[in-house]
Amino acid sequence: MPVTRTRLILTTALGTLLGAGAVAALAGFVVLRAGWYNVAATTQHFEFVYRLLEQAMHYSVRHHAQTVLVPALDNPARIMRGAALYHDNCAQCHGAPGVAPGPHGMSMQPMPGPLVDASRHWKPREVYWITRHGIKMSGMPGWEYHMSEEELWDTVAFIMELPKMSAADYRATTGPRQEAAR
Amino acid sequence: MKAPLLAALAALACLLAGCGDQRPPGVNAGDPARGKVALAQYGCRACHMIPGVTGSEVYVGRPLEHMMRRRVIAGKLPNDQPNLVRWIRDPQAIDPGTAMPNLGVTERDAIDMSAYLLGH
Protein backbone atom coordinates (compact mmCIF):
# COMPACT_ATOMS: atom_id res chain seq x y z
CA MET A 1 0.00 0.00 0.00
CA PRO A 2 2.48 2.72 -1.06
CA VAL A 3 -0.21 5.42 -1.22
CA THR A 4 -1.41 4.90 2.36
CA ARG A 5 2.17 4.74 3.59
CA THR A 6 3.13 8.01 1.88
CA ARG A 7 0.03 9.67 3.29
CA LEU A 8 0.92 8.45 6.78
CA ILE A 9 4.46 9.85 6.46
CA LEU A 10 3.19 13.22 5.21
CA THR A 11 0.52 13.45 7.93
CA THR A 12 3.05 12.61 10.64
CA ALA A 13 5.59 15.15 9.31
CA LEU A 14 2.97 17.88 9.04
CA GLY A 15 1.56 17.11 12.50
CA THR A 16 5.05 17.19 14.03
CA LEU A 17 5.89 20.51 12.38
CA LEU A 18 2.62 22.11 13.46
CA GLY A 19 2.97 20.72 16.97
CA ALA A 20 6.53 21.97 17.32
CA GLY A 21 5.50 25.37 15.95
CA ALA A 22 2.62 25.60 18.43
CA VAL A 23 4.88 24.68 21.38
CA ALA A 24 7.52 27.21 20.27
CA ALA A 25 4.89 29.95 19.87
CA LEU A 26 3.47 29.17 23.31
CA ALA A 27 6.92 29.21 24.91
CA GLY A 28 7.67 32.54 23.21
CA PHE A 29 4.38 33.97 24.43
CA VAL A 30 5.03 32.83 28.00
CA VAL A 31 8.52 34.42 28.05
CA LEU A 32 7.11 37.63 26.57
CA ARG A 33 4.02 37.84 28.77
CA ALA A 34 5.82 36.89 32.00
CA GLY A 35 8.24 39.79 31.42
CA TRP A 36 11.29 37.58 31.88
CA TYR A 37 13.25 39.47 29.25
CA ASN A 38 15.14 42.24 31.04
CA VAL A 39 14.88 45.56 29.17
CA ALA A 40 17.23 47.42 31.57
CA ALA A 41 19.82 49.58 29.81
CA THR A 42 22.30 48.44 32.45
CA THR A 43 22.12 44.87 31.12
CA GLN A 44 23.98 43.94 27.98
CA HIS A 45 22.89 42.24 24.80
CA PHE A 46 24.44 38.90 24.04
CA GLU A 47 27.41 39.54 21.77
CA PHE A 48 25.88 37.61 18.86
CA VAL A 49 22.53 39.44 19.18
CA TYR A 50 24.33 42.80 19.18
CA ARG A 51 26.44 41.82 16.16
CA LEU A 52 23.39 40.59 14.25
CA LEU A 53 21.34 43.74 14.92
CA GLU A 54 24.29 45.97 14.08
CA GLN A 55 25.00 44.13 10.84
CA ALA A 56 21.33 44.35 9.85
CA MET A 57 21.45 48.10 10.55
CA HIS A 58 24.51 48.48 8.31
CA TYR A 59 22.89 46.59 5.44
CA SER A 60 19.68 48.58 5.82
CA VAL A 61 21.45 51.94 5.79
CA ARG A 62 23.58 50.98 2.78
CA HIS A 63 20.51 49.84 0.89
CA HIS A 64 18.33 52.84 1.68
CA ALA A 65 21.04 55.44 1.10
CA GLN A 66 21.84 54.22 -2.41
CA THR A 67 19.81 56.87 -4.22
CA VAL A 68 20.95 59.87 -2.13
CA LEU A 69 22.66 62.55 -4.22
CA VAL A 70 25.65 64.10 -2.45
CA PRO A 71 26.39 67.83 -2.88
CA ALA A 72 29.91 69.35 -2.64
CA LEU A 73 31.10 68.92 0.95
CA ASP A 74 34.63 70.33 0.91
CA ASN A 75 33.61 73.94 1.34
CA PRO A 76 35.29 75.42 4.49
CA ALA A 77 32.29 77.61 5.33
CA ARG A 78 30.04 74.56 5.18
CA ILE A 79 32.39 72.62 7.44
CA MET A 80 32.45 75.48 9.99
CA ARG A 81 28.65 75.61 10.02
CA GLY A 82 28.67 71.84 10.46
CA ALA A 83 31.04 72.16 13.42
CA ALA A 84 28.57 74.41 15.24
CA LEU A 85 25.65 72.09 14.45
CA TYR A 86 27.66 69.07 15.58
CA HIS A 87 28.65 70.76 18.81
CA ASP A 88 25.06 71.78 19.55
CA ASN A 89 23.25 68.59 18.53
CA CYS A 90 25.57 65.58 18.27
CA ALA A 91 28.39 65.90 20.81
CA GLN A 92 26.01 65.39 23.77
CA CYS A 93 25.67 61.73 22.82
CA HIS A 94 28.58 61.00 20.47
CA GLY A 95 31.28 63.13 22.10
CA ALA A 96 34.08 64.71 20.07
CA PRO A 97 37.90 64.70 20.15
CA GLY A 98 38.70 65.46 23.82
CA VAL A 99 35.03 66.05 24.63
CA ALA A 100 32.98 63.57 26.66
CA PRO A 101 29.34 62.96 25.84
CA GLY A 102 26.78 64.08 28.43
CA PRO A 103 25.64 61.59 31.06
CA HIS A 104 22.56 60.64 29.04
CA GLY A 105 24.74 59.83 26.01
CA MET A 106 27.24 57.80 28.03
CA SER A 107 24.67 55.59 29.68
CA MET A 108 22.51 54.64 26.70
CA GLN A 109 22.19 51.06 25.49
CA PRO A 110 23.23 50.58 22.71
CA MET A 111 26.00 53.14 23.25
CA PRO A 112 26.12 55.95 20.73
CA GLY A 113 29.42 55.30 18.99
CA PRO A 114 32.13 57.90 18.56
CA LEU A 115 31.88 59.62 15.18
CA VAL A 116 35.59 60.34 14.83
CA ASP A 117 35.85 57.11 12.86
CA ALA A 118 32.47 57.37 11.09
CA SER A 119 34.11 58.07 7.73
CA ARG A 120 35.88 54.70 7.94
CA HIS A 121 32.57 52.85 8.12
CA TRP A 122 30.18 55.03 6.17
CA LYS A 123 29.99 56.96 2.93
CA PRO A 124 28.82 60.60 3.19
CA ARG A 125 25.40 59.68 1.74
CA GLU A 126 24.99 57.05 4.46
CA VAL A 127 25.91 59.47 7.25
CA TYR A 128 23.36 61.85 5.72
CA TRP A 129 20.70 59.13 5.64
CA ILE A 130 21.31 58.16 9.28
CA THR A 131 21.28 61.79 10.40
CA ARG A 132 18.13 62.56 8.48
CA HIS A 133 16.11 59.46 9.33
CA GLY A 134 17.59 58.27 12.61
CA ILE A 135 17.76 54.62 13.63
CA LYS A 136 14.77 52.87 15.15
CA MET A 137 15.14 51.40 18.67
CA SER A 138 18.71 52.70 19.00
CA GLY A 139 17.98 56.12 20.45
CA MET A 140 19.37 57.85 17.32
CA PRO A 141 16.85 60.57 16.48
CA GLY A 142 15.89 61.50 12.94
CA TRP A 143 16.72 65.14 12.22
CA GLU A 144 14.65 65.56 9.07
CA TYR A 145 12.06 67.77 10.78
CA HIS A 146 14.57 69.61 12.96
CA MET A 147 17.34 70.56 10.54
CA SER A 148 17.12 72.01 7.06
CA GLU A 149 18.51 70.08 4.11
CA GLU A 150 21.54 72.38 4.06
CA GLU A 151 22.12 71.93 7.79
CA LEU A 152 22.01 68.15 7.42
CA TRP A 153 24.73 68.29 4.76
CA ASP A 154 26.77 70.82 6.78
CA THR A 155 26.76 68.33 9.66
CA VAL A 156 27.76 65.47 7.37
CA ALA A 157 30.59 67.57 5.90
CA PHE A 158 31.95 68.21 9.40
CA ILE A 159 31.66 64.57 10.49
CA MET A 160 33.72 63.60 7.44
CA GLU A 161 36.46 65.97 8.68
CA LEU A 162 36.48 64.61 12.26
CA PRO A 163 39.17 61.90 11.79
CA LYS A 164 41.72 64.62 10.99
CA MET A 165 40.98 66.60 14.15
CA SER A 166 42.83 66.56 17.47
CA ALA A 167 41.22 67.70 20.72
CA ALA A 168 42.89 71.11 20.21
CA ASP A 169 41.60 71.35 16.62
CA TYR A 170 38.09 70.62 17.81
CA ARG A 171 38.29 73.26 20.54
CA ALA A 172 39.62 75.76 18.02
CA THR A 173 36.76 74.99 15.62
CA THR A 174 33.92 75.10 18.10
CA GLY A 175 35.09 76.82 21.32
CA PRO A 176 35.98 80.41 20.39
CA ARG A 177 33.12 80.64 17.91
CA GLN A 178 30.71 79.49 20.61
CA GLU A 179 32.01 82.10 23.02
CA ALA A 180 31.93 84.80 20.38
CA ALA A 181 28.34 83.93 19.56
CA ARG A 182 27.20 84.57 23.13
CA MET B 1 35.46 11.07 52.32
CA LYS B 2 32.83 13.63 51.54
CA ALA B 3 34.91 16.68 52.44
CA PRO B 4 36.85 16.92 49.13
CA LEU B 5 33.62 16.52 47.21
CA LEU B 6 31.95 19.26 49.22
CA ALA B 7 34.96 21.53 48.74
CA ALA B 8 34.90 20.89 45.00
CA LEU B 9 31.18 21.64 44.89
CA ALA B 10 31.67 24.82 46.89
CA ALA B 11 34.46 25.90 44.53
CA LEU B 12 32.25 25.15 41.54
CA ALA B 13 29.32 27.06 43.04
CA CYS B 14 31.66 29.95 43.74
CA LEU B 15 32.92 29.84 40.16
CA LEU B 16 29.39 29.77 38.74
CA ALA B 17 28.19 32.55 41.01
CA GLY B 18 31.26 34.62 40.14
CA CYS B 19 32.46 35.20 43.69
CA GLY B 20 33.96 38.69 43.57
CA ASP B 21 36.11 38.50 46.68
CA GLN B 22 39.16 37.02 45.05
CA ARG B 23 41.01 39.82 43.33
CA PRO B 24 43.83 39.13 40.91
CA PRO B 25 47.37 39.95 42.09
CA GLY B 26 48.12 43.66 41.96
CA VAL B 27 44.46 44.57 42.39
CA ASN B 28 44.01 45.80 45.93
CA ALA B 29 40.66 47.51 45.79
CA GLY B 30 37.39 47.66 43.93
CA ASP B 31 34.51 45.48 42.87
CA PRO B 32 35.14 44.05 39.38
CA ALA B 33 31.48 43.10 38.80
CA ARG B 34 30.38 46.67 39.50
CA GLY B 35 33.28 47.95 37.41
CA LYS B 36 32.11 45.95 34.41
CA VAL B 37 28.72 47.71 34.44
CA ALA B 38 30.41 51.06 35.07
CA LEU B 39 32.57 50.54 31.95
CA ALA B 40 29.33 50.32 29.96
CA GLN B 41 27.57 53.13 31.80
CA TYR B 42 30.37 55.67 31.22
CA GLY B 43 30.43 54.75 27.54
CA CYS B 44 34.00 53.39 27.67
CA ARG B 45 32.96 50.58 25.34
CA ALA B 46 31.97 53.12 22.69
CA CYS B 47 35.67 53.67 21.87
CA HIS B 48 37.44 50.71 23.50
CA MET B 49 36.86 47.01 22.98
CA ILE B 50 36.70 45.46 26.45
CA PRO B 51 36.61 41.72 27.13
CA GLY B 52 33.17 40.68 28.38
CA VAL B 53 31.47 43.99 27.54
CA THR B 54 29.25 43.87 24.45
CA GLY B 55 29.63 46.46 21.71
CA SER B 56 30.83 47.21 18.19
CA GLU B 57 34.22 46.44 16.70
CA VAL B 58 35.96 49.74 17.32
CA TYR B 59 39.53 51.00 17.35
CA VAL B 60 39.08 54.66 18.34
CA GLY B 61 40.71 53.89 21.68
CA ARG B 62 43.03 50.92 22.11
CA PRO B 63 41.46 47.57 22.99
CA LEU B 64 41.60 47.02 26.75
CA GLU B 65 42.38 43.33 26.78
CA HIS B 66 45.26 41.84 28.81
CA MET B 67 45.59 45.05 30.81
CA MET B 68 47.53 43.19 33.49
CA ARG B 69 50.34 42.45 31.04
CA ARG B 70 50.95 46.06 30.08
CA ARG B 71 54.05 47.77 31.40
CA VAL B 72 52.82 51.33 30.94
CA ILE B 73 49.58 53.25 30.48
CA ALA B 74 49.32 56.03 27.89
CA GLY B 75 52.95 55.48 26.95
CA LYS B 76 54.37 56.93 30.15
CA LEU B 77 52.69 55.90 33.43
CA PRO B 78 53.81 52.64 35.06
CA ASN B 79 50.84 50.30 34.87
CA ASP B 80 49.47 49.77 38.35
CA GLN B 81 46.01 50.19 39.84
CA PRO B 82 46.47 53.71 41.33
CA ASN B 83 47.86 55.01 38.02
CA LEU B 84 45.09 53.36 36.03
CA VAL B 85 42.55 55.06 38.30
CA ARG B 86 44.32 58.40 37.77
CA TRP B 87 44.27 57.92 34.01
CA ILE B 88 40.58 56.92 33.92
CA ARG B 89 39.58 59.91 36.04
CA ASP B 90 41.59 62.61 34.25
CA PRO B 91 43.44 61.50 31.12
CA GLN B 92 43.88 65.06 29.88
CA ALA B 93 45.93 65.94 32.97
CA ILE B 94 48.39 63.14 32.16
CA ASP B 95 48.45 63.57 28.38
CA PRO B 96 46.98 66.87 27.14
CA GLY B 97 47.21 65.58 23.56
CA THR B 98 44.97 62.57 24.11
CA ALA B 99 41.59 62.45 22.42
CA MET B 100 40.21 60.64 25.48
CA PRO B 101 38.00 63.07 27.36
CA ASN B 102 37.57 63.52 31.07
CA LEU B 103 34.34 61.56 31.60
CA GLY B 104 33.65 62.67 35.16
CA VAL B 105 34.26 59.20 36.57
CA THR B 106 33.93 59.10 40.37
CA GLU B 107 36.79 57.64 42.38
CA ARG B 108 34.78 54.60 43.45
CA ASP B 109 33.68 53.86 39.88
CA ALA B 110 37.23 54.28 38.56
CA ILE B 111 38.58 51.87 41.21
CA ASP B 112 35.89 49.33 40.30
CA MET B 113 36.65 49.74 36.57
CA SER B 114 40.37 49.27 37.18
CA ALA B 115 39.65 46.14 39.24
CA TYR B 116 37.71 44.68 36.31
CA LEU B 117 40.22 45.71 33.64
CA LEU B 118 43.26 44.42 35.52
CA GLY B 119 41.54 41.07 36.00
CA HIS B 120 40.84 40.50 32.29
Which of A 84-123 lie inside 8 A of B, CB atoms?
Answer: 95, 97-101, 103, 105-107, 109-114, 116-117
What pLDDT was estimated at residue A125? 98
Q: Tell me: the pLDDT tens digits for A85-104?
A: 999 999 999 999 989 999 99
Measuring CA to CA, how many Å separate A179 from each of A84, A170, A171, A172, A173?
A: 11, 14, 11, 11, 11
pLDDT at position B22 = 62
Reference B79, options B67, B94, B91, B90; nearest CA is B67
What pLDDT is attached to residue B97? 83
Q: B99 to chain A: which residues are within 8 Å by CB?
A: 97-98, 116, 166-167
Tens of pLDDT, residue by residue over A32-80, are 999 999 999 999 999 999 999 999 999 999 999 999 999 999 999 999 9
Task: Give A105's contacts in chain B (Cβ within 8 Å).
Answer: 43
Write down the pTM of the prediction: 0.82
Coil, strand or helix at B78: strand
The pLDDT of residue A178 is: 46
**Residue of B47, B60, B101 lying closest to A99 (CB–CB):** B101
Within chain B, which residues score under 50 in pLDDT? 1, 17-18, 20
Q: Tell me the pLDDT tens digit for each residue of B67-89.
A: 988 999 988 899 999 999 999 99
Report pLDDT for B75. Answer: 85
Q: State the pLDDT at residue B6.
A: 58
Contact A50 B47 (CB under 8 A): no
Separation CA A172–CA B60 (nearest Å): 21
Across the A:B interface, residue pairs with CB atoms under 8 Å apart total 69
Residue A30: the pLDDT is: 96
> How far is Cα A90 from Cα A96, in angstroms, rounded to an integer?
9
CA pair distance B76, B82, nearest whole angstrom? 14
Complex ipTM value: 0.81
Domains delineated in chain B:
24-118 (2.60.40.420)
Q: What integer best gives the mean pLDDT of chain B? A: 85
Instruction: Give the whole-angstrom CA distance, residue A161 versus residue A76.
Output: 10
Beta strands in chain A (DSSP E): none
Closest chain A residue by Cα to residue B40: A107
Which residues of B lie inside 8 Å of A (Cβ-Cβ)? 37, 40-43, 45-47, 53-56, 58-60, 92, 96-104
